[in-house]
Amino acid sequence: MKSTQIYSFLLAAVLALVCQAAPVWAAKPVQELPAQAGVLMEKININTADNTALQQIRGVGPKMAERIIAYRNETGRFQKPEELINVTGIGPAKYERLKDQITV
């Protein structure tokens, strides 16, 4: 094999690997995308949302979603969004970060 053939083969192999990996590099979870000014975001209903839906709230991960559901199951529906402060791990500061993303 000539050196130009070897380089061409190696270049083709590298390009094939990069093309396969490109979608993985480009993919970002929805949670990490920042809200843009002027874009209306749908609020999550904390009374009806399942674990997956609750995790769409920026700042809520799997464990926090489980605690929200557990609290809701133990005490009943949230009457107002502010009651989210009663969930372990959500204090006033965290609630302030979440309040624009939730509804009851």
Extract the tokens encoding 98. Answer: 């979440």
User: Hey, what are 55's tokens?
Assistant: 């995790």
Mean pLDDT, consecutive 10-residue segments, the chain of 104 residues?
A: 62 58 43 49 93 96 97 96 96 95 96
SS3 state of residue 36 = coil
Residue 13 pLDDT? 63
**8-state DSSP, 61:** -
pLDDT at 67: 97
pLDDT score for 70: 97
Contact 81, 99 (CB under 8 A): yes
Identify the architecture of domain 44-103 in CATH.
Orthogonal Bundle (1.10)
User: Which ranges in the chain are annotated with CATH 1.10.150.320?
Assistant: 44-103
Q: pTM for the whole thing?
A: 0.61
Query: Strand, helix or coil at 30?
Result: helix
